[in-house]
A and B are shown apart, each in its own frame.
Chain A
Amino acid sequence: MKISREDVLKVAALANLELTDAEVETYRGQLDDILTYIDKLNEIDTSCIEPMTQVVTASADGSTSTLREDVVVRSDVITEVLRGAPDPAPLYFRVPRVIEK
């Protein structure tokens, strides 16, 4: 067994995810299966292989830079963005108190 109940709870806490006891048990078993399967990657020696961190490289698209000029543009979206918020208090998003008095 690669994964314990405590491992799942620790990861769920890192991910801010409330899980029921039943979910913890189900995911524990399923992750165990998946990680056991993933272990097959250890069949390959990758000590001399570079990780692939970019898909389209600068050389592939023939350009040396994809960075644009740093120009200030007006972004007037506050009203529209707040319209989609669960608890707006213009001009802010309201959340439960985080700072004690």
Chain B
Amino acid sequence: MSAATAWTIPEVRAALDARKISARELVNEFYGRIDRRNPELNVYLALSPERAYAQADRIDAAIASGDALPSLAGVPLAVKDVISTRGIPTTCGSRILEGYRPPYDATVVTRLEHAGAIILGKTNCDEFAMGSSNENSAYGPVRNPVSPNHVPGGSSGGSAAAVAAGLAVVALGTDTGGSIRQPGSFCGIPAIMPSYGRVSRYGLIAFASSLDRIGPFARTVRDAATVMSALAGRDPADSTSAAIPVPDYAAALGRSLAGLRIGIPDDYFAEGLDHEVRQKVESGIRLLEKLGCRRVSIRMPNTDYAVAAYYIIATAEASSNLARYDGVRYGARVPGATLIEMYQKTRGRKFGAEVKRRIVLGTYVLSAGYYDAYYLKGQKIRSLIARDFRKAFEQVDAIITPTSPVPPFRLGERTSNPLEMYLADIYTVTGSLAGVPGISVPSGKTSGGLPIGLQIYGPAFGEERVLQLAHAFEQAGGAEL
């Protein structure tokens, strides 16, 4: 990657401070790159130049008058298309929301703009964030910038690819069962899912409300930490956001890892793990040991049940959340002779195959006679998985796993069997169910040059620890293992 494409947050700030570039010129540069690369990569679904240039001009005016700049001043940002942006098309990658422009901003958007970030546009994703490859977008798949015949991961594939391709400095994604961490892994960049309750979900278009989280993609762990500090904290508009004080995450970076106990769950290194992924993650663990961590073997005995519990709970919540798309208040409508017929036609024709599959499954597990056998059972298994994590964190400071059992796969390679695609979410859905934070950091590449990700889990609200480990790992050359 040439120096010209590899902007980081400190580099943006240094260039603005030195008057080497104005915020307006920086926006020009990024829109130029997007013009050149987007036709191939299909990363952006909508651009927001009016809003971007207005924000750039505010930053340039602040610089001209010598005002103190906020933490993300002038930083070009991409926003996943499931996050509401006032007046800017927000489709969730679905035909059912074609043409929809939200009347308000999500809290995360307000917070990052307040911190000086410049929203370039909205990124492609699996429809309603349901998928692990970005092939479920109604607007076509995103290509992995590292290798365009491969998927970028999903569901936040557009946001991951935007940062990896240098079409944004940082990006927002959402993670319900791995949708930040897995595309981060596939595109070779750091990507963090914060604790449930750490970041407001107000304005995030809901998939599964007890699992959905918003978090950043960045080129460096330090940049991810800087964005996290701007995102986190209690929001009166989201009753599930926690009133726990927000640390300066970037300040935790650089502390020694000496004596930290890292837990390696045997249950995560079992059948189904790709040989090269296993090798590189084991090299990653040895690197952490060299940095002073103490390796502890742990058991998380309910891991094998996580995918089944996840697909009950996530689809049940989705079937309820997606009931609101009925052709009445927003988005698309397919006419019908009666109200019910209008609902059925609108939903049947405007939702894509994966979304309909999950609505059918979710409705089934909630329906009379099956609720106890499936939904209640799933919630009980969720308790056991959360207990596995709590017990593990009595013994260790962090848990290290692969992010995905497989490296990036080719477009079209895995679309025929949904269950097989779901099973590959095994290492990420556990942390989703437990509510804990997790980061994926690059940990070497396959022999074919495709990125591999190492995942670090911390206890609930332990983002500082996770970022500290990821930063040390990155600085010690984790990506080049």
Which residues of A does B touch, CB under 8 Å?
A: 3, 7-8, 10-12, 14-19, 23, 27, 30-31, 33-35, 37-38, 40-44, 46, 49-53, 55-56, 60-63, 66-68, 77, 80-81, 83-87, 93, 95-98
Contacts and interface: CB of A to CB of B under 8 A. Distances in A.
Given A18-B348, A38-B374, 9 more contacts: A17-B356, A30-B418, A46-B384, A52-B433, A55-B196, A83-B101, A84-B330, A86-B332, A96-B336
Given A27-B356, A95-B339, A49 B101 contact: no
B308 A30 contact: no
A31 B319 CA distance: 15
B53 interface: no
Contacts of B379: 51-53
Nearest to B210: A55
A66 B348 contact: no
Nearest to B385: A52
A38 B330 contact: no
Contacts, number: 165
Nearest to B347: A17
B242 A7 contact: no
Contact of B311 (A12, A38, A68, A87): A38
A60 B360 contact: no
19 contacts: A3-B364, A8-B360, A15-B363, A16-B340, A34-B418, A37-B308, A41-B377, A46-B384, A51-B379, A51-B380, A51-B383, A52-B379, A62-B243, A62-B244, A83-B101, A84-B329, A85-B330, A96-B338, A96-B341
A1 to B, nearest CB: 14
B384 A55 contact: no
B360 A17 contact: yes
A83 B101 CA distance: 9
B292 interface: no
Interface string B240-267: 1011100000000000000000000000
A55 B339 contact: no
B345 interface: yes
Interface of B: 100-101, 103-104, 196-197, 210, 236, 239-240, 242-244, 302, 304-305, 307-309, 311-312, 319, 323, 326-333, 335-345, 347-349, 351, 353, 356-357, 359-361, 363-364, 367, 374, 376-384, 386, 418-419, 422, 433, 435, 460-461
A41 B243 CA distance: 35
Given A40-B305, A95-B339, A49 B244 contact: no
Given A33-B419, A41-B381, A55-B240, A86 B364 contact: no
Nearest to B336: A96
B142 to A, nearest CB: 24
Given A11-B363, A16-B340, A96-B337, A50 B243 contact: no
Contacts of A38: 308, 311-312, 374
B103 A84 contact: yes
A68 B235 CA distance: 11
Contacts of A80: 103
A18 B383 contact: no
A16 B312 CA distance: 20
A30 B239 contact: no
A26 to B, nearest CB: 8
Given A12-B360, A86-B333, A96-B338, A49 B384 contact: yes
A10 to B, nearest CB: 8
A81 B305 contact: no
B240 A50 contact: no
B243 A63 contact: yes
B299 to A, nearest CB: 15
A13 to B, nearest CB: 8
Nearest first, the 9 A-B pairs at minimum CB distance are A18-B348, A51-B379, A56-B197, A86-B333, A61-B242, A46-B380, A18-B344, A16-B343, A55-B435
Contacts of B305: 40-41, 43-44
Contacts of B239: 66-67
A49 B338 contact: no
Contacts of A85: 328-330
A62 B351 CA distance: 41
A71 B338 CA distance: 39
Contacts of A37: 307-308, 419
Given A11-B367, A40-B308, A34 B419 contact: yes
A31 B419 CA distance: 9
Given A34-B418, A52-B379, A56-B240, A15 B359 contact: yes
A15 B360 contact: yes
A64 B279 CA distance: 47
Given A34-B419, A51-B376, A93-B328, A27 B360 contact: yes
Contact of A60 (B103, B337, B364, B460): B460
A16 B382 contact: no
Q: Which of A17, A49, A60 has the most CB of B within 10 A?
A: A17
